[in-house]
Amino acid sequence: MNTAAVSPPAARAGDAATGPLPPVAGDLPPSVGAFDYTRFAPRLPQLEGGMEPGRHPVVIAGGGPVGMSLALGLANHGVRSVILEADDTVCVGSRAACISRRSLEIVERLGALPAFLSKGLPWTGGRSFYKTDEVFRFEMPTSAQQKLPPMINLEQYYIEQYLLDEIVRRNAKTPGLIDIRWGTELTGFSEEGEGLVLSARNALGAYQLRGQWLVGCDGGQSFVRKSLDLNLEGTAYEGRYVIIDIELHSDHPTERRAWFDPPWNPGSTVLMHKQPDDIWRIDYQLRAGQSTEEALQPAAVTEFVQRHLDAIGEGQLPWKTVWTSVYRAGAMTLESYRHGRVLFAGNAAHAMPIFGVRGLNSGFDDADNLAWKLAHVVRGLSDVALLDSYSQERIAAFHINAESAMRSTEFMSPPSRGFDLLREAALSLSGAHRGIANLINPRQTQAVEYRDSVLSTEGDDLTEGPGPGEAMPEQPLAHDLHLTDRLRPTFMVLVLNTEVDEALAAEIADAQAGPLAVNVCELPAGSADASVFAALGAQQGAVYLLRPDGHIAARWRRVPRGALRSALARASYLVETERS
């Protein structure tokens, strides 16, 4: 039965471009499971006539997961940043709760992986039901080669807290490396000379500050985006989903469950996920004509959840509601993620449907791609044109992600009667026909290949293994180590199944003599199983040049004279280097 006695925190309704909005400021949010909220006090910097002296290399609008990840990525390269966050706590509600393996690899580079793995719930697959019959099971790719699970469930308030904890650790070592200013909103900005002048305010007053670059990580309602009169373009769907977090002490395993047209909510779709602290996330589709406002009323939430739990055999368990929101699906993007000295990342740059969990996971990829490029430009190592490659690569990634996400969305929320009939036919036949059942596959997110990146150099004698633009796949090494344990967030020369002879040593020395940090990882014959070298096309040896985000910039069987330095210059837009 429902034991809730008071109304839970509820987000305001969002739209296709925004997703749910945060609750109106008020009392400190109540604890959820083992998580206790902290209110962070605003402060004013030292000012001279209302202006903060000096100029910050990077100002980040928005201190959610994307903004904090970008700041930590910049810190990996020694670049300081300021985060302006309008809220004075980490977020309320589960929000983006599914973190992919690729995102976990990024989080590892940021230093926060142990906390994510300690609290997060790993899972590998899920089940789909048509009415009450199971019609499809899926498993995400996983093997002993991987050190990380394909997905974990972790509420966004934990995600933000663990990134914040890492920021605190970084600042303890290097004071002021990441200056996060809580309860402070950006109110205006304009370009001026070699940077920008920005206006900010909090409860203590208003002030101005200067920055070289501004990055809008301020979510679907982005003030930065609206200030430049920019709009997200793409496809918005009519389907609306109510999101309900409940505390439920259930022993059901961690998996994704989806019910299509269930008898207890006919004509709708219901999703359910287990999260840490016995918090369960339920998403259900509102039918045409149903009122969003009425659906979010506590009595309506209670009635729906109890009906759902009764139907799946858990209605006898005590539960309570801890958060509610509503979401409308959309796949939209800005035409460019760079506008002069202003850049965009995360939901400020694009909107993704929830199906396939590409929202925050795309945001982590944005931050990972942008951090090293912006750091190189700030430090004067790379030409500013390197930032255009961020926009080009991530917009290409958006379209790859959107294609799968839209196919899932059209199945989950049919946009027309024709799609509805197609889905009904597929579901009714899927129990007996595996090929048709594959239409139900949610197509979970995975690492994106930058196929046509201007930063890539094509090798002419290595035709097997991962190619330029791909993320270097994880591989097991000896003594419980993995390949990612040997990599660093810098340019890396990966030497596989071959000796570093005099010619290759000279090429590496030439590359390291330049201004860029270039590290070397050698895996000679016998240091890994033969299957590892085969997977990487290195049966006869191979050399890879990896970017700081782990994507492949170039690869060779044997490195031609001058090729490594040339590929490095191409991948970094190295200042004062002509590009081919």
pLDDT digits (tens, 9 = 90+) for 331-389: 899 999 999 999 999 999 998 876 656 689 999 999 999 999 999 999 999 999 999 99
| Run of H or E including 509 | helix 502-512
* CB atoms near residue 78 (< 10 Å): 13
pLDDT of residue 407: 58
pLDDT at 430 over 90: no
User: Among residues of the chain, what percentage have pLDDT more than 70?
Assistant: 86
pLDDT of residue 437: 47
Nearest-5° Cα angle at 230, 225 to 232: 95
pLDDT of residue 382: 97
Looking at residue 213, its amino acid is W
pLDDT at 434 over 80: no
Q: How far apart are CA 33 and CA 22, in angstroms?
A: 20
Strand partners, 206: 201
Q: Give 62: exposed, middle or buried? Use CB within 10 Å, 0-12, 13-18, 19+.
A: buried
Convert the pLDDT of each residue in 514-545 to its tens digit.
999 999 999 999 888 999 999 999 999 999 99
* Of 142 and 539, the one with more pLDDT: 539
Backbone angles phi, psi at 241, to 5 degrees: -125, 130
Average pLDDT of the chain, as a whole number: 88
Q: 201-225 in b/e burial notation, b at 16+ Cβ within 10 A?
A: bbeeeebbbbbbbbbbbbbbbbbbb
Helices 65-76 and 156-173, packing angle to 10 deg: 30
Q: How far apart are CA 218 and CA 226, in angstroms?
A: 11
CA distances, 254 to each of 101, 185, 272 (Å): 16, 38, 10
pLDDT of residue 15: 40
Strand partners, 523: 496
pLDDT of residue 240: 84
H-state helical runs in 151-281: 156-173, 223-227
Q: What is the DSSP letter of 452?
A: T
pLDDT of residue 306: 98
Q: What would the mean pLDDT of 419-425 be, rounded to a whole number?
A: 57
Convert the pLDDT of each residue in 378-415 to its tens digit.
999 999 999 999 999 999 999 888 876 555 555 555 55
Give the three-class secondary structure for 88. coil
Contact 128, 184 (CB under 8 A): no
- pTM value is 0.90
Contacts by 225-231 with C-beta closer than 8 Å and gap 24+?
A: 225/334, 225/344, 225/348, 227/188, 227/189, 228/339, 228/342, 230/334, 230/339, 231/334
Q: Binning pLDDT at 50, 70 and 90, where does residue 56 land?
A: very high
Give the three-class secondary structure for 117. helix
Q: Binning pLDDT at 50, 70 and 90, where does residue 328 land?
A: confident
What are the tokens at 206?
A: 């208003």
What are the tokens at 84?
A: 């302006």
Report which of 56, 64, 60, 75 is spatially closest to residue 343, judged by C-alpha positions: 60
Q: What would the mean pLDDT of 254-280 be, rounded to a whole number?
A: 93
H-state helical runs in 513-580: 530-535, 563-572
Q: How far apart are CA 495 and CA 341, in angstroms?
A: 38
Torsion of CA 419, 425, 428, 434, to 10 degrees: -90
Give Cα 135 distance to the centre of its chain: 30
Q: Binning pLDDT at 50, 70 and 90, where does residue 27 land?
A: confident
Helices 563-572 and 502-512, packing angle to 10 deg: 30
Convert the pLDDT of each residue in 66-100 to its tens digit.
999 999 999 999 999 999 999 999 999 998 889 99
pLDDT of residue 444: 54
Q: How far apart are CA 408 and CA 355, in angstroms?
A: 6
- Estimate the share of the chain in helix, then strand, then coil, as percent rounded to the nearest 5: 30, 25, 45
Q: How far apart are CA 284 and CA 259, in angstroms?
A: 9
Give Cα 412 distance to the centre of its chain: 22
Looking at residue 2, its amino acid is N
